[in-house]
Amino acid sequence: MLNMILKDLRISPLRNILTGISMFVGIIAMISSVLVGTLGKEYLISVNAQMYGWSPTYSFSITGSDFQDTIKMENFFREIYNTDHFVAVTFSMLEEITVAPVASVSSLQDISDTVYKKTVPVDVVFTTSTYNKIYNLPMSSGDWFDSSEINKTLCMVVNKAAQNYFDTSYAVGNVESSLSLTPFNVVGTVNDGTDIPTVYLDAHSIELLVPNMWKVKNATVHWHSEAGITMRQMYSSLHDILEDTIGGNLDIIGKSDIGDTYNSVLSVLQLGLLVTSFLLLFVSVLGQINIGLSSLEQRTHELLIRRAIGASRANIVTLVLGAQLTISVFVCIVSILISFFLVQGMGLFLPVDSPVAALEYPILSAVVAVITSVVVALLGGLLPALKAAKLEPALALR
């Protein structure tokens, strides 16, 4: 029977090519619609995570604490690091911090008089090294702060909007009440999704090495609940840390990400793409049925002769459906290979600091598409096959 099916496929190559194209369009359309939905979802989530943090992220304010006590602050940092990898702290300072780029630290003494005139208008964020785990901050170049508590150095990371100001590997900063200039290593450039020039400073290093700059007004804790920890559990844990270290008041700000806002948008997007995918598959089925009925009219005489020389109805049905299934298997393999290389190729066009990570091939969608293709092939060939099986051998004599 297999030989008969293969011979049957060679009889009308153009018809089989058209059938294969119809199947190919259906499979590619389904994989593409799922991929577009996944890409749209990932892009929306990733862009919002740049500004508001990965969902869910909760924020807590700390006021009235003894931020100036070095020993207590060291214990505070240690407790925060040990609590969870997805907890970060940002600090608001009593005095404004100004920064300026310099060519090198060795030349700082020679140009100290003119550095104050080179200060740049940027936002300064004092935070811990885990800040980039709460927010989606892909690096354009360089590295983020070292999370190690050993060998702390003064590091600065700038965002893309501030990159034009800091075209050197060094910068200096100072506070209003001091004329001393503190040198920083500009270790990286980050894509934080904002067009406001911003620099990020390692708060722990500044607390250890630059006491004249460490004048904290209050702090904010950002906690991304990846392990399913509730906000009340977070509050209880942070409250215990404050009591054991710097004291002060802890207040719940609430959920800082906007995941609840875009969830409805994602649901509508995915529903629309799902409906579109099924419509494309439906069109593919109609196309295959149309091709099958058209070819049946051309092959009526051939099939009648086969019935007259002893072919059973089951043989005719198997012959017609077997051809459809053979084409379907071949098209499935080609479609999956092409779609796989297309997905992998799309990742090559994403910039290094793209908020969206490299795309993953939708394996589940491919499996569903393969199963659907087989079902579509059966549906597309079933009506012509049943119609062919009903042909009476006596008609061959006409």
76 within 8 A of 241, measured Cβ to Cβ: yes
Give the model's pLDDT for residue 87.
94
> pLDDT tens digit string along 291-344?
666 666 666 666 666 666 766 767 777 777 777 777 777 877 887 888 788 777
Say yes or no to pLDDT of 396 above 60: no
CA gap 87, 79 in Å, rounded: 11
CA nearest 162: which of 186, 132, 134, 136? 186
CA pair distance 180, 191, nearest whole angstrom: 30
The pLDDT value recorded for residue 111 is 55
Domain map (residue ranges) of the chain: 2-49+261-397, 53-258
**What digits encode the pLDDT tens for the residues 140-166?**
999 998 755 545 688 899 999 998 888
DSSP 8-state code for residue 212: T
Average pLDDT in the chain: 79
Q: What is the pLDDT of residue 176?
A: 76
pLDDT at 4 over 90: no
Annotate 211-245 with b (16+ C-beta within 10 A) or e (fewer): eebbebebbbbbbbbeeebebeebbeebeebbeeb
Which regions of 145-202 does DSSP assign to beta strands (E)? 155-159, 170-175, 182-190, 198-202
246 in Cβ contact with 67 (< 8 Å): yes
- DSSP for 16-36, written as a single string: HHHHHHHHHHHHHHHHHHHHH
> pLDDT of 78-111, one tens digit each?
999 898 889 999 999 998 888 888 877 665 655 5
Highest mean pLDDT among 15-19, 91-95, 284-288, 360-364: 91-95
Indicate the SS3 state at residue 186. strand
Residue 126 has pLDDT above 80, yes or no: yes
Tell whether the model's pLDDT for residue 191 goes beyond 80. yes
